[in-house]
Structure formats: structure tokens, C-alpha cells
């Protein structure tokens, strides 16, 4: 990952992207932004395209933010959101149209990022995909749940090419991500 950041930064510095597009100050800002993105990206993203794992993250449970940037050939649409409570974990499955999972970012919001936070915490999930319902069925976009960790799930913000979902959790729980293909799905598990 850091090698890609350095390669892009080198292009920005040498103006190979678009001559005159970046002022010297903008070039410095772009480089700092790219380095910041490299620092907040999941440490094991190399496993995403590993055929042995089917594009899944290894079995990593943690509380750190995850950002996965992707440029898709065609825009994706979030086609379904499912949730369940299983043995030892609560699960959310996001399914997308197309052939690939769009870019996404996952993180605890505000106080919920503190290791010792007690009480309900919010977990943000952002996707570079068209929203599924927009301002449609309230029961689908605002779900009250009674799972051990996952208490509520709602579509919190929408735009033409992005959608944000928020999970209300009973505690600051470790989570893991799994990417699946055919159809493209992102699974978010919260440990009980």
C-alpha cells in the first residue's frame, strides 16, 4: 500500500498527472492526504485479492477504522441490507450490484472510538454506492433490533453516488470485515 502512495505522490510532485493542475501548496496537501490515507487503511488489505481467501479479510477482529478506496468501471448500487444474530456475533451483510464491492469506510463515531466507552455507541459505514431506497420504506432504512450487540441499524445519509449507514451498538465491540463475490457483498460482524 505504501508503495502505491509513494508512486502517486511522485507523480503529483513531478506533475505527471496533469501539468499545471497542482500549485506547489496543493501538491504538498495532496501528498499529505495520500500519506494519511495510507495510515488509516487496514493493514491486511493485500489479502483482498487473494484467490485462496476468496477476497476475504483474514479472521481479524479489531476496533480500528478501515478505509478501502476503489475506482469502479461502473457505479455500484446497494441492493440489499440484511442482519442477523449468530452464535458469538451479530452480522450485517451489504449486497451490491455489479461485479465489485465499491469503496468503503468503517469507524466508530466520536466517543465510541474510546476503548473504555460504555453504553450505546455508534458505528459508521460509508459506501461509494448509490443508495438502495432513498427516502423509501422506513422499516427497511430504520431497523430496531434486539441483538446482544447490534441494537439498531439505519441509513443515515444519502447522496447520488454514496450512502451512509449507522449501527447503534450496546458496547464498543471488536468487528471484522469479510468481502465476498458473486454477488459482491461486504459482511460486517460484531463480536458479542
Q: List the CATH number of the domain containing 58.
A: 2.60.40.3500
- Residues 65, 160: one domain? yes
Domain count, the chain: 2
- What per-residue confidence (pLDDT) applies to 158? 67
The alpha carbon dihedral of 74, 75, 80, 83 has a sign of positive
Quick one: 95 and 33 in the same domain? Answer: no
Domain assignment of residue 94, yes or no: yes
- pTM of this structure: 0.66
User: Angle 182-135-67 (CA atoms, 0-180°, nearest 5)?
Assistant: 50
Q: Are residues 32 and 85 in the same domain?
A: no
Whole domain around residue 7: which residue ranges? Answer: 2-40
**Do 88 and 23 have their domain in common?**
no
Taking CA atoms, 78 is separated from 153, 175, 188, in Å, by 15, 21, 15
My answer on whether 103 and 151 are in the same domain is: yes
Cell numbers for 84: 442477523
- Please provide the DSSP assignment of 62-101 as one string: B-S-EEE----SS-EEEEEEEEEEETTEEEEEEEESSSS-
Instruction: Report the sign of the C-alpha dihedral through residues 70, 71, 73, 76, in that order.
Output: positive
> Is there a domain that residue 100 lies in?
yes
One digit per residue, pLDDT tens: the chain, 192 residues? 444 444 554 554 454 444 455 455 455 544 444 444 443 333 333 333 333 334 445 578 999 999 999 888 888 889 899 999 999 999 999 999 988 999 999 999 875 445 555 668 999 999 998 876 554 555 467 889 999 999 999 987 766 778 899 999 999 999 999 999 999 999 999 999
Amino acid at each position: 500500500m505504501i508503495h502505491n502512495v509513494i508512486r502517486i505522490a511522485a507523480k503529483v510532485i513531478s506533475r505527471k498527472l496533469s501539468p499545471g493542475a497542482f500549485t506547489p501548496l496543493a501538491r504538498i496537501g495532496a501528498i499529505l492526504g495520500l500519506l494519511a490515507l495510507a495510515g488509516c487503511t487496514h493493514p491486511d488489505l493485500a489479502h483482498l485479492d487473494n484467490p485462496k481467501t476468496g477476497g476475504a479479510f483474514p479472521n481479524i477482529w479489531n476496533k480500528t477504522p478501515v478505509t478501502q478506496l476503489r475506482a469502479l468501471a461502473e457505479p455500484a448500487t446497494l441492493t440489499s441490507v440484511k442482519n442477523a444474530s449468530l452464535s458469538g456475533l451479530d452480522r450485517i451483510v451489504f449486497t451490491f450490484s455489479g461485479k465489485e464491492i465499491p469503496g468503503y469506510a468503517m469507524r466508530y463515531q466520536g466517543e465510541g472510538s474510546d476503548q473504555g466507552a460504555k453504553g450505546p455507541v455508534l458505528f459508521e459505514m460509508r459506501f461509494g454506492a448509490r443508495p438502495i431506497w432513498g427516502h423509501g420504506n422506513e422499516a427497511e432504512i430504520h431497523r430496531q433490533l434486539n441483538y446482544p450487540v447490534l441494537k439498531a441499524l439505519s441509513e443515515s445519509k444519502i447522496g447520488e453516488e454514496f450512502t451512509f449507514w449507522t449501527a447503534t451498538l450496546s458496547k464498543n465491540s471488536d468487528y471484522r470485515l469479510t468481502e465476498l463475490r458473486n454477488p459482491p457483498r461486504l459482511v460486517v460482524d460484531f463480536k458479542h
